[in-house]
Amino acid sequence: MAGGRWRRLLTVPSVGLLLVLAGCGGSSGSTGGLGSGDLLVGVLAPFSGADANLGPAYYAACLAAAPAINNNGGVGGRHITCQKFDTRGEPADAAPAANQMIASNSNLMAVVGCTSDEASAVAPIVDKAHIPMFCMTGQSEFNKTKLPYFHRLVPADIFDAYGMVGWVIYGPSHPAWNKVALVFGDDIGSQSFVQPATNALQHFGKTVKNFPIHLGASSFRTEVQSMLAFKPDVIFTEALGSAGTYLGEVKELNGGQTIPFIGTSATIDPAWFKDVTSTISVNDVVQFYRGVDLGYTFSGTAYDEFKANLQTAASTFANAPKYGQRGSTLHLYDGIIMTALAMVATNSKDPTVYNPKIKEIANGTSGATVVHTYKEGLDALHAGKSIRYTGAAGQNNFDQYNNSQSGYILVKYDAQGGEVQLASLTPEQTKKLSDAGGL
């Protein structure tokens, strides 16, 4: 859900290597309205810069979705390929990358990625080109977006903030946490967590203070000393790319003791786990880390296929299997599958035709057949049935603004970096938290 949100010097973006998965070369032509030749999914995300760990999670989604489609005849015989377009996490770099992606690829069927770093800059560009996009942005400006080609399968950042507060108020098995330090990047996107968390915490009688940091710095000793003087009981953070350095210095300057810390859903990530455990140890993360995530089951037919395809993708991208419990990877995988099914359902290569079908397939209509994989969807469509896709990340429920939301779970890490669910927030609890946040 929450993407990275950091600034970088203006440079010309590079375009990642076009990947044609094994078995995808030379797709056969197709008849009808689906056209011929390979179809492209553009992964528009940071692959360099402070947020470079975000892009690989989204790329893995495409690597898993492509064989699910290609091994079942593709989209009317057209095979799916995946290509990286590096935004570097900067609007100034992202807009040229988006324009280049669109101008140089007439076979672009969908775009995935577009984080909070650059969604404001690239979403209007992609929308104007009439290309369906599935964005990992938590910015509240998209809560009621008027962009018809924009889709968001995760809640806005404010709900991540409420979930973190939920740990303090409703979380199991911890001492009273009354003083909370907020440690996020000093950019606008990262700071979007601060106000809703502050409002909610203060509503419940907690003392809270914001300690912004400049992500990517080589050291945070001054900032850490200021935070320690506050004497917090718990730290809220995300700090992608800098969490290891920051928390390592917290432990060092706090007499070798790690302070309990709660992370956003973006901290459920193998790169983040590796970064933090390298400085404060696996045992400290298992003992002191808590996080929030959406209510995934990590089970079922769709998830099993997703996970198996990630394993296979390791021959192309060695870290692909590590994203088996990454929420954004699950959601973007489902977005690609739904787009392919929408094309088949409408027998059209024209996104102005198949884009509205994506929402219908996600939400379902009366009497729709529930399907969990691309093959199940194809079989049902070929039998003349309407379908509702419930995929690797579960069921989607798009509202009129193409935003789909679900409930939060409270989690921790195990020693292998796996997610362990400890509790969940009820709808009533979530409502109380959002009411308290006042945004």
Q: Where in the chain is the domain with CATH 3.40.50.2300?
A: 15-155+299-348, 157-295+403-437
Supply the pLDDT for residue 388: 98
Q: What is the mean pLDDT of the chain?
A: 90
Side-chain half-sphere exposure of 27, counting CA atoms within 13 A: 28
Give Dmax over CA atoms of the chain in angstroms.
Answer: 69
pLDDT in tens, 186-239: 987 788 899 999 999 999 999 999 999 999 999 999 999 999 999 999 999 999
Strand order in the sheet with 408-413: 207-210, 179-183, 234-237, 261-263, 289-294, 408-413, 419-424
Nearest Cα neighbor of 98 from 192, 90, 433, 254 is 90
pLDDT over 90 for what percent of the chain?
77
């969604």: which residue's tokens?
Answer: 119
CATH class of 157-295+403-437: alpha beta
Contacts of 398 (CB under 8 A, 6+ apart): 151, 359, 362, 363, 404
Domain made up of 15-155+299-348: CATH architecture: 3-Layer(aba) Sandwich (3.40)
pLDDT in tens, 294-350: 888 899 999 999 999 999 999 999 999 999 989 899 999 999 999 999 999 999 999
pLDDT in tens, 19-68: 333 333 333 333 449 999 999 999 999 999 888 989 999 999 999 999 99
pTM score > 0.85 for this model? no
Q: Which of 30-39, 126-135, 287-296 comes out lowest in average pLDDT? A: 30-39
CA 432 from chain centre, in angstroms, equals 25
Give the C-alpha separation, 184 to 166, whole Å: 18
Cross-strand pairs, 84: 43
